[in-house]
Amino acid sequence: MIACLLIPGFELRAALRARPRLALVPAALSPEPGEEPVLGPVTAAAEAAGVKPGMRLGEALATCPSLVLVERDPAAVEREWEGVLRRLEDTGFAVDPVEQGAVIFETRGVERLYGGVQPALERALAAVGSAWDPRIGAASRRFTALAAASVARPGQILLVAPKEEESFLEPLPLSLLPMNPGRYAELEGLGLRSLGELSQLPGGAVAERLGVEGRDAWRLARGGRRTRVRGRRPAAELAEALVFPEAIANELTLRRALGSLLERLLARPERAGRPFRKLALAARLVDGGSWRRVATLRDATAEIGRLRAALGSKLQELPAPIVELRLEAVELAEHAGQQLALVEPAGEEAVVRLREGLRQVRASTGTGSVCAVVEVAPWSRIPEARALVVPKDV
Amino acid sequence: MSSPALGRLNAPRPALVETGPGATPRIVNREGVTLVREEWRVVDRWWTDEPVDRHYFEVVLESGRNVCVYRDAEARCWFTQNA
């Protein structure tokens, strides 16, 4: 069977791990900086006070003046979600993440191991942990499993037999379908309220009226396609970080730190010569918050100049001085081949020789013997705070 | 992920200093001071758990070497460092 494990409001729950008391009071995830001022997920206490996810900030504060706004913490969310996925993988499930808080997996591979579908799903819930309030829906199709998880209670496993899928989906609301918000109003204006009402319409007519989006929604309302779940390939932990003794915001210092991180990441033996396809730049802010940006490269590359150009501009988006900068390899290309240049850039041969010489020194004197000086705060009045000595892998 | 062991560049080193009139260095690591070139004070991070209160002296020793020493008011001892 295909199972969907759902953790509603995952972003808020992850941000509250550091402040568990706020889970009991009216609290909501603050709006994304620079985006429309609407709330993210809210706590149960906030919902009881009349605050709903997606509500405008002003309206929410007027409704509940004691509402606490929880600052977004993307690094913590990413870390906690990766932890959830790894615990499921350690239990034997090949997971296919849908989004943070929702993951699909098949039970076929582990049913014999755990003695059936129900025991296997109970192991999955246990692996995630009850603190997250996970719930599972299982069916023969992805969308039905997702819909079942959406209506399940915390800690519940809702199994939908293949013969019962159509009747199960019938009364469910249209909000389960992945559509633009305006579409829901359009469908309600046509008198449609449930998946069953939509599925009973002729598919051609729906496609003609609502386009490709409507046609896809119609197919899902009828259960969707039968597809196999392809588990993700968990990325090796390939990341480097620099912790600064003082908070820094100077662009030159940040770029130098990024250069140092890139050199270290390129030198990691786990990379096995494979170029990067996607990288993530994360930082811990001076006020304790976090920041994260992902850069997907048009062409997978391991050329440091191109990587600097792709990531350097992200540093300008930092909202505050930082105390830690972290670079993660999110995705590597499969090939290890390298397109050689007809004419090498000037100075490249000297760089290659220098690198080889440093490798020889490191081989004879040991790890950590070759270091680089990274200027952190050259203007500091405290001399030992101006620069750091960082072991340099070559 | 590996977070490298970051070392401080130009870390202070304990120094043996004898002072003369006005609390200025007279002997540094058993070597006499011939000239005090400059003197300054650094007070910083007083709002943190690790405040910095240092009285720096740039001196010339008998051997002709130019060194910097400072008296750390928090630790109440002398250190030498490249300023």
Q: What is the ipTM of this complex?
A: 0.78
Verdict on whether the full-model pTM lies above 0.80? no
Say how many residues make up chain B. 83
- Look up residue B18 and give its DSSP letter: E
Q: Is A386's CB within 8 Å of B11's CB?
A: no
Q: State whether B42 and A373 contact (CB < 8 Å).
A: no
Q: Which residues of B touch A264 (CB under 8 A)?
A: 4
Residues of chain A with Cβ-Cβ distance to B82 below 8 Å are: 383
Supply the pLDDT for residue A36: 82
Q: What is the pLDDT of residue B3?
A: 46
Task: Give start and end residues of each alpha helix (H) in A329-388.
Answer: 348-365
Residue scoring higher pLDDT (B5 or A3): A3
What percentage of chain B exceeds 70 in pLDDT?
90
Amino acid at A5: L
Percentage, residues of chain B above pLDDT 90: 51
Mean pLDDT score of chain A: 85
Q: Specify which residues A391 forms β-bridges with.
A: A371
Inter-residue contact A241 to A324 (CB < 8 Å): yes
- What is the per-residue pLDDT for A356? 79
Rounded Cα gap, residues A93 and A125, in angstroms: 12
Report pLDDT for A159.
93
**pLDDT confidence of residue A236:** 58
Structure tokens given for A358: 């440093």
A189-217, pLDDT tens digit by residue?
888 888 888 888 888 888 888 888 888 88
Give the residues of chain A that fall short of pLDDT 50. none
Looking at CA atoms only, how far is residue A383 from chain B in angstroms?
Answer: 6
- What would the pLDDT profile of A2-36 be if each residue is shown by its tens digit? 999 999 999 899 888 888 888 889 999 888 777 78
Q: Which residue did the predictor score with more confidence, B33 or B50?
A: B33
Kindly identify which residue of chain A lies nearest to residue B7, measuring between CA atoms.
A389
CA dist., res. A310 & res. B48, Å (int): 37
Q: Which residue of B has its CA nearest to A388?
A: B8
Residue B1 confidence (pLDDT): 38
Nearest to A3 by CA among A172, A100, A130, A134: A134
**HEC readout, A131-146:** HHCCEEEEECCHHHHH
Establish if A391 touches chain B: CB-CB under 8 angstroms.
yes
* Contacts of residue A319, Cβ cutoff 8 Å, sequence gap at least 6: A33, A285, A291
